[in-house]
Amino acid sequence: MALREILTFPSPALKKKAVDVKNIDAAVNQLANDMVETMYAAPGVGLAAPQVGVPERMIVLDVNTEEPGKDLVKLINPVIVEKHGTVVWEEGCLSVLEYTADVKRSAEILVRAWTPDQDEIEIEADGLLSVALQHEIDHLDGKLFIDRLSALKRDLYKRKLKKILRDGGPDPDTERNTCI
């Protein structure tokens, strides 16, 4: 396994829609394993392939921060097939430095995807798992959580980021937000 660089806003690669994985092979399994290692090292609870510069529809997540690895999920070509209700959740992202905001999402979802073992699965989710799945699937569609905010809040973040970069970059102790 290998740590991969996590792209950050405003990288153009984060705005591109990912393509379906056509073949689940050793390279796909290696990418999934690299993404898991990168996610835990960041640290985060989710990571999408486009965040590490791979424009393919693959995500990894583990919302169990108490027992890392126990609830690890690796999904290929995930699709949300049902949505119900709404919830507002404070989100951050490994690709959006030093910023969190409340985001409105569906409260409950049903996701259909493939595993690296080539099994088709369905996941019924609510709470943090629902939010994390939606957040990561947004990455596959070229969307960041800040794209779901008002234009004013996005503009405030862009100005904050310019100041951070002008002042020498992010503080290494607070450089990344948990990605959900």
Domains of the chain and CATH, by start: 12-166 (3.90.45.10)
Identify whether the C-beta of residue 47 lies closer than 8 Å to the C-beta of residue 35. Answer: yes
Tell me how many degrees the CA angle 38-43-46 measures, rounded to the nearest 5: 70
The structure tokens 């690296």 sit at: 116
Mean pLDDT of 146-151: 93
Tell me the chain's radius of gyration from C-alpha atoms.
Answer: 16
Residue 178: pLDDT above 70? Answer: no
Q: Which helix (H) or strand (E) holds 76?
A: strand 73-84
Residues paired with 59 in a beta bridge:
48, 75
Residues paired with 92 in a beta bridge:
179
Rounded-to-10 torsion of CA 19, 32, 39, 44? 60
pLDDT top residue among 13 and 154: 13
Mean pLDDT of 14-38: 97
Residue 1: pLDDT above 90? Answer: no
pLDDT at 166 (0 to 100): 83
pLDDT at 171 (0 to 100): 58
pLDDT in tens, 49-83: 999 999 999 999 999 989 999 999 999 999 999 99
Residues forming the active site: 136
